[in-house]
Copies of this chain bind each other. A is one copy, B any other.
Amino acid sequence: MGQLRVGMVGYAFMGAAHSQAWRTVNHAFDLPLSARMSVVCGRDEDKVAAAAATLGWEGHATDWRAVVERDDIDLVDICTPGDTHREIALAALAAGKHVLCEKPLANSVAEAREMAEAAAQAQTRGVRAMCAFNYRRVPAVALMRQLVADGRIGTIRHVRAVYLQDWIVDPEFPLVWRLRKDVAGSGALGDIGAHIVDLTQYVTGQSITGVSALTETFVKERPLPTAAAGLSAEGNGSSGRGQVTVDDAALFLARLDGGAVATYEATRFATGRKNGLRVELNGSRGSLVFDFERMNELQFYDAALPSAEQGFSRILVTEPDHPYMAAWWPAGHPIGYEHTFTHEMRDLIAAIAAGQDPTPSFADALQVQLVLDAVERSAAASAWVDVEAVLAAV
């Protein structure tokens, strides 16, 4: 069996999740290529060496430019913050490596556009690029898409999407990189809002055409990370605090090109909601509801049933005929968060082996970026803003 030799850049939260998926994918699925965890790359020699040992990579490196040039690497997996995606992805594609890039694709439309163009060119040379919107690979989400595509809920009227977290409710939580615009691009909007934009467009098969938004930063100043750690921050004087430069919460209304209207909300201030990604679709023939905190379930209301028997059914999406589930355990045995990445790697490997383009493509991810951009412009203008078209953008 052929190998797919992977070089991964970044080894924090996403790196750990990807590692578990690369390690598992060929044991769960029968695939024509076998993933090999060749090298992990990071800036700090000691830390990346430790990460390689913990996460199970054969080697480690500190220069990502060298990694993307190595002959014995087939795919570059980008797990770094958004400000470095563009540079690494462009270099990897230029070097003829397949690329898997974490979301959001980039910190700006301009960067994302450049990446999508590069991916389009690389594609002509048989080089594949994919953006890692892992929630598409939740079996319940894939089933949701199938039911919509099969017309089971009819014409979609309403999309109701939230992604609720609460990890920075405490005003003393430090100013980590995800709260800095220069590194993260945006706050809740790009980090988790991007997921519900992609997910709802994926399951409905419709695109957002315009938005009306507001964003808010509830806590405007926070302790610098070192100050929070109890040390005096060098050069920070007496305060040891810095400005939060991203949104804590982003809310927007939207219209989709199939006629649906929508509400979206992404926040890190929803106390008690830990990873509350929820989507509800209401159609002319039925409704569907998904909540990631109960990721093995999908709710389906089928208005074609007799009136007295209609109700939201809780489908336990663990049957062998549910998407991806034949690879796992008997019915009723839940899978977890990391499985979404294993499924992602499965689809990516299958596409590469088949000489096909995996989805979501960089162009798909650019379109998400255009929506996020419209949200920011709408919030700034306090007015409706149309989403720019990808074609115009690319």
Residues of A within 8 A of B (CB): 13, 17, 19-20, 23-24, 27, 30, 54-56, 143, 147, 153, 157-158, 160, 162, 164-167, 169, 212-214, 216, 218, 249, 251-253, 255, 259, 261-263, 265, 267, 269-276, 282-287, 292-296, 298-303, 307-316, 318-319, 321-322, 328-339, 382-384
Q: Are A334 and B331 in contact (CB under 8 A)?
A: no
Q: Are B332 and A335 in contact (CB under 8 A)?
A: no
A contacts with B: majority SS: mixed
Distance between Cα atoms of A17 and B335 in the complex (Å): 12
Name the one of B13, B293, B331 contacting A330, with C-beta atoms under 8 angstroms.
Answer: B13
Nearest residue, chain B, Cβ from A154: B271
Distance between Cα atoms of A329 and B319 in the complex (Å): 25
Name the one of B214, B298, B300 contacting A255, with C-beta atoms under 8 angstroms.
Answer: B214
Q: Are B331 and A274 in contact (CB under 8 A)?
A: yes
Residues of B within 8 A of A265 (CB): 158, 160, 263
Distance between Cα atoms of A383 and B378 in the complex (Å): 9
Q: Are A382 and B212 in contact (CB under 8 A)?
A: yes
Residues of B within 8 A of A259 (CB): 218
Nearest residue, chain B, Cβ from A312: B314
Distance between Cα atoms of A308 and B286 in the complex (Å): 16
Q: Are B169 and A284 in contact (CB under 8 A)?
A: yes
Contacts A13-B329, A308-B319, A312-B313 known; 11 new A-B pairs at CB < 8 A: A24-B24, A27-B54, A214-B255, A263-B265, A272-B286, A276-B332, A300-B309, A314-B314, A329-B338, A382-B383, A383-B383
